[in-house]
Amino acid sequence: MSDLGLWRAFLAVHATGTLSAAARTMGITQPAVSAQLQNLERLLGERLFERTARGVVPTARAAELAARLAGPFDAVAAALTGVGPDASSFESPVRVGGPAELLAEVVAPLLAPLVADGVRVHLVPGLPGPLVELLRTGGLDLVIASERPRGRAVVGGPLVDETFVLVASPGFAEQHGLAASTSPPAGAEAFAGLPLLAYAHDVPILRRFWRHVFGVRLERDPALTLPDLRALRDAAVAGAGVTVLPSYLCRAALDGGALLDVHPTDDPPINTLHLVRRPGSATRSHVERVRGILTDPVVATVADDGPRLSPVSAPAATLGA
């Protein structure tokens, strides 16, 4: 039993692939992890990892030991959840990465009961590539990624599909003839020359909608670019132009009349969100509690039949109204 700390360090190094990443997950220094690993190798009389320029590579013996120990360590962590009046205080913060809009408008409110119960959470917004890399190196515990991660250092699977809607304010739609007809506009030509509100200069989300729904390539410069879909939503509500948003982010605005779906379709573009973690992260009970929120309430909110977020009201005066 006195060697449990050494085995915990071993599992952290095996899961993250580097001593520095293991140190971050354990909340101790890299020299301390290195010393624990050396003590364990000395105790066993054999080397467990081969050191390389990019980290460590487990030996066949280390892989066998990790496979045998990960499950029991997870079980011990689960059994100790809630033991002692201050048990939660020993857990380091759960670090969750994902799209800024999703973290702010969906994840943070849903995590409120856990935070009130003593679970500490750090939410880190960003793009999927850098976030997954940060997960691999131990800087994050969980990531909601809009792209399927690759590589053996992380595990995960599909979480939920988000669907996209082409929207504008009612005043803007009326001014440009997008709201007069009871049927959707005939095609992309209905939006030719209209100002586009985009996440980036290469209009990635708009371009995908044009290709999927209209069957044409969108080659236009946006009128407004900002890498925050909440800001694009608000600009559209103010009458600045047309944009494409995930349905969960604009349901309340559509219900409240602040936005109008200017091209309803039975076959909208979808994007699959993935929940990604490092192998062995289940040894921390708070990570599992947060993961439970991400795999149930978050899915229910993002799905097309999910609940409405806080309502957005149409402003008293909109541009072009």
Contact 302, 146 (CB under 8 A): no
Enumerate domains of the chain plus CATH numbers.
4-80 (1.10.10.10), 88-161+271-302 (3.40.190.10), 162-270 (3.40.190.10)
Output the pLDDT for position 270.
94
Residue type, 321: A
Q: What is the mean pLDDT of the chain?
A: 84
Output the pLDDT for position 184.
59
* Structure confidence at residue 264 as a pLDDT band (50, 70, 90): very high
Residue 209 clears pLDDT 80, i.e. is over it: yes
pTM of the predicted model, to two decimals? 0.70
Residue 254 clears pLDDT 80, i.e. is over it: yes
CA gap 257, 87 in Å, rounded: 48
Output the pLDDT for position 152.
62
Output the pLDDT for position 54.
72
Residue 138 clears pLDDT 80, i.e. is over it: no
Instruction: Give the mean model confidence (pLDDT) for residues 14-35.
Output: 82
Output the pLDDT for position 293.
92
CA gap 133, 153 in Å, rounded: 10
pLDDT, tens only, 181-196: 556 566 899 999 999 9
Q: Among positive and negative, which fits the CA dihedral 120, 122, 128, 131? A: negative
Q: How many CB atoms sit inside 10 A of residue 60's CB?
A: 7
pLDDT, tens only, 50-108: 888 777 888 888 888 877 776 677 666 555 555 544 444 446 788 899 999 999 999 99
Closest CA to 185 of 177, 175, 193: 177
* Structure confidence at residue 135 as a pLDDT band (50, 70, 90): confident
Helix (H, G, I), strand (E, B) or coil at 261: strand
Q: How many CB atoms sit inside 10 A of residue 135's CB?
A: 28
DSSP state at residue 142: E
